[in-house]
Amino acid sequence: MKKLEDFADDINKCSKCGLCQSVCPVYKITGNDCAVSRGKFVMLDGVLKGDLKLNKNIEKYLDMCLKCGKCKGFCPSNIDVCEIFNTAKYECAKNTFHGKFEKLLESRFVFGNFMKLLKRRPRVSSMAADVSVTKLLYFKGCVNNVLPKTENAFKKICSKLNVEIIERNFECCGLPFLSSGNMERFEEVRAHNLKLMDCEYDYILTDCASCESTLRSYGCENLINAAEFLASQNIKFKFKKPVKVTFHKPCHLKNDDFLKTILKKCENVEYIEMQDYDECCGFAGEFAVKNPKISQAISKQKAKNALATGADYILTACPACIMGLHQGFIVAGKKAPKIMNIVEFLAQADAVA
């Protein structure tokens, strides 16, 4: 397990240019330099030099980060901020009462058994006996296990395709544990999930952008998200009535190239791009709980941008973003259009393979 001092060179790479301020959703709302990577690196540099202690105040600012990675993409020094912040958070929390309490809540005994209780049985998958079948190892994250709506929609569409869906008893991808600084628990679920991936498949399929980005951090290859997979298939989606849709790109989604391809496959669907369609929705699990006002302000702006399109549907590819979008409409006091994973939207059409 890495220590904060292992990142000393990366932290020193920060030139303090401040470019990260222009893309950080939290800085845009707060205007606080401690909320963006530059300010956090100044504090962490002070810790490494022995001028500052990793105290509650620094932990508060470490928690004030959506882990959206926008600053990394913009940073001329290409510093992997999330890994550094997660490690610093681990060192902050490991010996505190609240850190130990969170670890208890996130343990296999409490969190693992709670998830087992909530788990819903999804629709039985389609199985093709053909040798040309595409084998999809379906990685199910926490939300999918509790509410398998996207999974059921995906399986409905797949009944028209030559695919085999392989199911394993995966645990949470571990992203919530990384964010709370619970590295031991993250390593535990990572090892469990990697063991279950030791089987024959063509792709590891996810229906959650956050799970996908975490699996990428495991070093997994051949990852594909459910919408990307459908875009690659010879299938058309015929909607009975004309509908207008817009799309929110989750921060953790590597790319959204599939969107154009999918829209071309749809009949009776008009796409209207919302302003800042790839801006964060403001909802990042623990962030929303620890920074409710900032989270709500970001979500509200997202809802306003979505509403301005006049779309009947807001589509996305991450269950946490669906919550963020709903939060935005609640805070804005506006009636929300239908908000769903793009796969659920496609499952409403007549699919013609």
Determine contact, residues 31/47, Cβ cutoff 8 Å.
no
Q: Which of 62, 71, 84, 332 binds ligand SF4 (CB under 6 A)?
A: 71
Q: b or e along 43-70 (b: 16 or more beta carbons within 10 Å of the residue's beta carbon)? A: bbbebeeeeeebeeebbebbbbbbbbbb
DSSP secondary-structure letter at 33?
A: G
Which residue number, 81 or 211, has a Cβ lying nearer to ligand SF4? 81
Q: What amino acid occupies position 83?
A: E
Which span sits near ligand SF4 by CB under 6 A: 53-61, 69-77, 181-189, 290-298? 69-77
Which residue number, 41 or 177, has a Cβ lying nearer to ligand SF4? 41
Q: Which of 46, 69, 112, 285 binds ligand SF4 (CB under 6 A)?
A: 69
Which residue number, 89 or 140, has a Cβ lying nearer to ligand SF4? 89
Q: Which of 2, 5, 6, 17 binds ligand SF4 (CB under 6 A)?
A: 17
Distance of alpha carbon 307 from alpha carbon 217, whole angstroms: 34
Contact between 260 and ligand SF4 by CB under 6 A: the answer reads no
Which span sits near ligand SF4 by CB under 6 A: 10-18, 118-126, 148-156, 187-195? 10-18
Which helix (H) or strand (E) is 224 found in, with range?
strand 223-225
Contacts of ligand SF4 in 114-173 (CB under 6 A): none
Contact between 38 and ligand SF4 by CB under 6 A: the answer reads yes
Contact between 285 and ligand SF4 by CB under 6 A: the answer reads no
DSSP secondary-structure letter at 186?
A: H
Contact between 75 and ligand SF4 by CB under 6 A: the answer reads yes
- What's the distance, CA 22 to chain centroid? 22
Contact between 325 and ligand SF4 by CB under 6 A: the answer reads no
Contact between 293 and ligand SF4 by CB under 6 A: the answer reads no
Torsion of CA 102, 108, 110, 115, to 10 degrees: 110
Which span sits near ligand SF4 by CB under 6 A: 37-45, 120-128, 257-265, 309-317? 37-45
Contact between 12 and ligand SF4 by CB under 6 A: the answer reads no
3-state secondary structure of 27: helix
Torsion of CA 348, 153, 276, 79, to 10 degrees: -170
H helices present in the chain, as ranges: 8-13, 25-30, 37-48, 56-63, 70-74, 81-93, 97-106, 113-118, 142-146, 149-158, 175-179, 183-196, 209-218, 226-231, 258-265, 286-290, 292-307, 319-332, 342-346
Contact between 77 and ligand SF4 by CB under 6 A: the answer reads yes
Q: Which of 4, 36, 157, 211 binds ligand SF4 (CB under 6 A)?
A: 36
Distance of alpha carbon 256 from alpha carbon 212, whole angstroms: 13
Contacts of 259 (CB under 8 A, 6+ apart): 227, 247, 271, 342
Contact between 189 and ligand SF4 by CB under 6 A: the answer reads no
Q: Which of 65, 223, 230, 347 binds ligand SF4 (CB under 6 A)?
A: 65
- Complete DSSP assignment for 234-250: S-EEEEEEEEEEEE---
Contact between 297 and ligand SF4 by CB under 6 A: the answer reads no
Q: Which of 4, 11, 26, 54 binds ligand SF4 (CB under 6 A)?
A: 26
How far apart are CB 251 and ligand SF4 at their closest, in Å? 7
Query: Which residues are at the interface with ligand SF4 (CB under 6 A)?
Result: 14-20, 23-26, 36-38, 41, 65-71, 75-77, 79, 81
